[in-house]
């Protein structure tokens, strides 16, 4: 950046760190033949009938704005979906907003509730955008570290320890990116007690709700007493394989959506009209396709977890999403060193755990949303890399002991 511009910039933006994921992938993009376990998106193409509905919408000339919160028909489908799948009830008329991805819904949530200096608890390791979005809304992100001993699940004790009189909200993400950890109903019930006691608002990122592998999904808004303090975030990107469509939604108590819509109408106006027609089709007729994708991810998860543990990279079995988060501590490398050396030596791209906050150090994130053949090859390469590290460690230890 030209130094002359520095004085024009907002102090908050100057302080933001660039995403650790981006930095790494800029390097990977310069190398040929890389197998990427880095991307956080499905390897499936959006189901055909969804694409067809959007094409038809364009052909029929639906090129105008829609109502600010989205087509009522789509909000009705979302309302039905939330009730049917997760047993949470939202009025399509005034409690649901269709956004530009879950990303924008999270941004909208923070901008709506935060005043300068309010603290927001971010459960770490965490998706890269949460802390910057809190900061951009004037708040202070406060990390709450989780640990692999219990599969990176947030415990009520960990939560309680970080609460101060400035804490206003907590961001919960289950299943989690990057750890894949899943909070079941009992876990959520326990957390809810602390949340109620300290009168917190919960921004519940449920973008991976369709991708749980061992247990039924529980929405935080369905937990007793939590509906009134939850901003539910979800979208089409992950479960329906629609990342590039940039369509998400939020559902919340009317007193909050009424305020949110003011921000949304000035910044965005509405989500793209023709894509909203695609989303209606996704919700009406595509659960079977979602289920096919979910089963495929599950098979791949089992294969990847087993292979990594066999290689000696300790890895818990994640309950959802499409990431594994193995420990690389046994190699003696930092997560950045591991990711960089693996990329250069074996052309496999993974994300250093440190990109997801300090507590991610010592781990790497591997996405298994790629074909089984690619996964098999990637794991062979990781095995070779780790074996190579062990051999060179043994050689240097022998040399060292001779001297």
Ligand X SMILES: Cc1ncc(COP(=O)(O)O)c(C=O)c1O
Enumerate residues 190-229 that contact ligand X by CB under 6 A: 205, 207
95, 237, 286, 331: which one contacts ligand X (CB under 6 A)? Answer: 237
Lookup result for tokens 């079995």: 317
Name the residue nearer to ligand X (CB basis): 105 or 311: 105
Report the nearest approach of ligand X to the CB of residue 208 (Å).
Answer: 7
User: Binding to ligand X by residue 241, rule CB under 6 A?
Assistant: no
Report the nearest approach of ligand X to the CB of residue 205 (Å).
Answer: 5
Please give the full DSSP string across 170-181, using - where no structure is assigned.
Answer: EEEESS-TTT--
Report the nearest approach of ligand X to the CB of residue 207 (Å).
Answer: 4
Report the nearest approach of ligand X to the CB of residue 204 (Å).
Answer: 11
User: Binding to ligand X by residue 145, rule CB under 6 A?
Assistant: no
Spatial neighbors of 152 by CB under 8 A, at least 6 apart, are 125, 146, 176, 179, 181, 316, 325
User: Binding to ligand X by residue 280, rule CB under 6 A?
Assistant: no
Q: Exposure of 117 by Cβ count < 10 A (0-12 exposed, 13-18 middle, 19+ buried)?
A: exposed
Binding mask 113-142 for ligand X (x = CB under 6 A): --------------x---------------
Binding mask 86-105 for ligand X (x = CB under 6 A): ---------------xxx--
Tokens (6 digits) for 227: 């509906």
Spatial neighbors of 397 by CB under 8 A, at least 6 apart, are none
Q: Exposure of 68 by Cβ count < 10 A (0-12 exposed, 13-18 middle, 19+ buried)?
A: middle
Report the nearest approach of ligand X to the CB of residue 250 (Å).
Answer: 11
Name the residue nearer to ligand X (CB basis): 205 or 346: 205
User: Binding to ligand X by residue 180, rule CB under 6 A?
Assistant: no
User: Binding to ligand X by residue 243, rule CB under 6 A?
Assistant: yes
Length of the chain: 403
Name the residue nearer to ligand X (CB basis): 106 or 333: 106
User: Binding to ligand X by residue 146, rule CB under 6 A?
Assistant: no
Asked if 188 and 218 count as a contact pair (C-beta separation under 8 A), the reply is yes
Rounded distance, CA 281 to CA 197, Å?
A: 41
Rounded distance, CA 100 to CA 276, Å?
A: 11
Enumerate residues 34-73 that contact ligand X by CB under 6 A: 40
Report the nearest approach of ligand X to the CB of residue 177 (Å).
Answer: 4
Spatial neighbors of 153 by CB under 8 A, at least 6 apart, are 146, 181, 182, 183, 187
Q: Is 167 strand, coil or helix? A: strand
User: Binding to ligand X by residue 177, rule CB under 6 A?
Assistant: yes
Query: Which residues lie near ligand X (CB under 6 A)?
Result: 40, 101-103, 127, 173, 177, 205, 207, 235, 237, 243, 248
């Amino acid at each position: 950046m030209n130094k002359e511009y520095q004085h024009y910039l907002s102090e908050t933006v100057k302080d933001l760190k660039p995403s650790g994921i981006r930095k790494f992938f800029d390097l990977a993009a310069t190398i040929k033949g890389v197998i990427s376990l880095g991307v956080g998106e499905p390897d499936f193409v959006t189901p055909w009938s969804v694409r067809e509905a959007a094409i038809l919408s364009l052909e029929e000339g639906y090129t105008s704005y829609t109502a600010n919160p989205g087509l009522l028909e789509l909000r009705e489908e979302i309302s039905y979906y939330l009730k049917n799948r997760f047993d949470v009830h939202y009025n399509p008329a005034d409690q649901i907003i269709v956004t530009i991805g879950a990303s924008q819904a999270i941004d909208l949530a923070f901008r709506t509730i935060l005043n300068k200096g309010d603290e927001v608890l971010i459960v770490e390791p965490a998706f890269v955008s949460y802390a910057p979005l809190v900061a951009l809304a004037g708040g202070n992100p406060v990390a709450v570290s989780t640990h692999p001993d219990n599969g990176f699940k947030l415990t009520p004790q960990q939560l309680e320890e970080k609460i101060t009189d400035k804490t206003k909200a907590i961001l919960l993400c289950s299943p989690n990116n990057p750890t894949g950890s899943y909070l079941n109903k009992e876990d959520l019930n326990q957390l809810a007690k602390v949340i109620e006691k300290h009168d917190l608002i919960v921004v519940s990122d449920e973008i991976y709700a369709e991708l749980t592998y061992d247990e039924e999904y529980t929405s935080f808004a369905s937990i007793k007493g939590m509906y009134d303090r939850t901003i539910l975030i979800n979208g089409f990107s992950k479960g329906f394989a629609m990342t590039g469509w940039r369509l998400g939604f939020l559902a919340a108590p009317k007193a909050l959506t009424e305020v949110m819509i003011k921000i949304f109408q000035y910044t965005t106006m509405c989500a793209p009209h023709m894509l909203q027609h695609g989303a209606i089709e996704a919700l009406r007729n595509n659960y079977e396709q979602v289920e096919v994708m979910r089963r495929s991810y599950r098979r791949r998860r089992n294969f990847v977890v087993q292979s990594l543990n066999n290689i000696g990279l300790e890895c818990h079995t994640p309950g959802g999403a499409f990431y594994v988060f193995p420990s690389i501590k046994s190699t003696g490398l930092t997560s950045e060193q591991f990711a960089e050396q693996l990329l250069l030596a074996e052309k496999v791209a993974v994300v250093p755990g440190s990109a997801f906050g300090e507590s991610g150090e010592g781990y790497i994130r591997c996405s298994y949303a790629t074909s089984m053949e690619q996964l098999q090859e990637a794991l062979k390469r990781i095995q070779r890399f780790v074996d190579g590290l062990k051999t060179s460690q043994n050689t240097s230890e022998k040399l060292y002991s001779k001297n």
